[in-house]
A and B are shown apart, each in its own frame.
Chain A
Amino acid sequence: MSDMILLGTRKGTLIFDRTNANWQPRPIVHAGVPVCYAARDPRDGTLWASLDHGHWGPKLSRSRDGGATWVDISTLKYPAGARYIVKYLPTPDFNPESPSAQPEYNAATVLKIWNIAFGNANQPGRLYAGTIPGGLFISDDGGDSWELNYPLWNHHSRGGDLFAGDASTANHWNGTPASIDYGVFEPGIHSIVVDPHDPNHIYVAVSTAGVIETTDGGQSWAGRNQGMLNDYLPNPESEWGHDPHFVTNCPGQPDHLWQQNHCGIFYSDNGAKNWKKVSRPNLSVNFGFPIVADANDGRTAWVVPARADSERMAIDGGLFVARTTDGGQSWQSFRNGLPQDNAYDIVLRHGLDSSGDYLCFGSTSGNVYLSDDRGETWQCLGNNFPPIYSVRFG
């Protein structure tokens, strides 16, 4: 059971410590700086925060003394020659024929370090980071240096090797609205799922492309979107163009993967060879951003449903958490301890986590809720925090 919760917020990193049953926040660190993700490396206790400086560029920040002091790291950079095919936000006057007729290229610059993941216990120093615009970076020295994963960057699904020349294949990686703040409409890697039993087996999820898997340590990658359905393309079963909001697995049964997608909740019990839509719109369990799987039981997962993509807020003014224990065949909703009037919260993709019987989530309305009974009842840890981007047990 964890004794620490880290929040990445619009105004800095907040760390809660547990003493018996009480969770107390420390004074904020990285004060005033947007922190899009914060987490603790379970292997050595290092704390990480992804700083989203508006002016000074994205930075990683690392604390090796439990959060007392932090050091910013600026070494995560695209190599010279890294390019991507420009995507355009489909505005009402957008002409899809015009830009796609002749690809345009941008030199890649790290705009956002959206996710940080940790290697296996037998890979000390191995870290992963996913960015906008769609790069997977790997460190093998505890974050001192980083290298772009070239096979994924050069994948045929996004135009091929643009270091070598112009695009040789079509680009199927579309933009994420999360990139618009940076003046572009480009894809982002927000989910990195490392198989705890096999360090060479990794999934990443891309908004907006889908899920991609490697089984050879990142030397080759293949799309894993069979069974996915989207509501916004002429062919709902297209290989690419899916919008996973977050993808995770069950650490104890890593072939059990869960995906809260723009178009519903999807589950796979065979390592993403096939996905099955398991959301239940009639129960208001469909749209949302975060999802978390139980650590041991691959059939158990939790979501925090929201109304719809066009109305990103709590449903009918009330917050609830839904849980399945049978692989999504049925869902139970839990509201005890959560506001049921005048709630407009939205919980973002990294805003929900679990640790044993504990669950915690935080919303962009600055509310933090904790459950110690697997999501059935909730207590509020505070209502006036900054907008919350990520919640992770330490």
Chain B
Amino acid sequence: MAMPGQQFSADLLGAIWLNNMPHIEMTQHLYRFFPQLKNRVINVPAGSVAEILFAINEIAPGFTDYVLDEHGALRRHVNVCINDAIVIDKIKLSDRVADEETVYIFQSLSGG
């Protein structure tokens, strides 16, 4: 714990901040198209689900083309959860993701 008046280095502040940022988990199927995401801890700044997905797109260009359609809506067979709740707004992806929450991106089941 920090003591009153204690000074932190910029690196340490950055690490604490990063660790608090929303964490991303996704289906391994997406690693097939974006191998740079495999075995990588992904934390991105808090914001809307849309902002979260476009932040991942900065790490893996083209990522949003796989999970969103041309209008920016979630594809029909893709699900996004914030912690254990499926996002409500699948069109504009306006649900807010706060620090320390986890975003899950995975396929919705559509057959046996």
Contacts and interface: CB of A to CB of B under 8 A. Distances in A.
Contacts of A198: none
A182 B77 CA distance: 10
A55 B78 contact: yes
Nearest to A109: B69
A363 B59 CA distance: 42
Given A56-B33, A57-B65, A77 B75 contact: no
Contacts of B30: 56
A110 B30 CA distance: 20
B74 to A, nearest CB: 11
A313 B67 CA distance: 37
Contacts of A28: none
B70 A110 contact: yes
Contacts of B110: 54-55
Interface string A110-121: 100000000000
B77 A74 contact: no
B70 A56 contact: no
B76 interface: yes
Interface centre among A55, A78, A107 (most CB of B within 10 A): A55
Interface in B49-101: 62, 65-67, 69-71, 75-78
B29 interface: yes
Interface in A320-379: none
Name the prevailing secondary structure of the A interface residues: loop
A234 interface: no
B52 to A, nearest CB: 18
A363 to B, nearest CB: 22
Contacts of A72: 33, 62
Given A55-B77, A56-B66, A110-B69, 20 more contacts: A53-B66, A54-B110, A55-B107, A56-B29, A56-B30, A56-B67, A56-B75, A56-B78, A57-B66, A57-B75, A59-B65, A74-B62, A74-B65, A78-B70, A80-B71, A107-B71, A109-B69, A109-B70, A110-B70, A182-B76
Interface of B: 29-30, 33, 62, 65-67, 69-71, 75-78, 107-108, 110
Which 7 A-B pairs have CB atoms at the shortest separation, nearest pair first?
A74-B65, A77-B70, A56-B66, A55-B77, A55-B107, A109-B69, A78-B70
19 contacts: A54-B77, A54-B110, A55-B108, A55-B110, A56-B30, A56-B66, A56-B67, A56-B78, A57-B65, A57-B66, A57-B69, A59-B65, A74-B65, A74-B66, A78-B70, A107-B71, A109-B71, A110-B70, A182-B76
Interface of A: 53-57, 59, 72, 74, 77-78, 80, 107, 109-110, 182-183
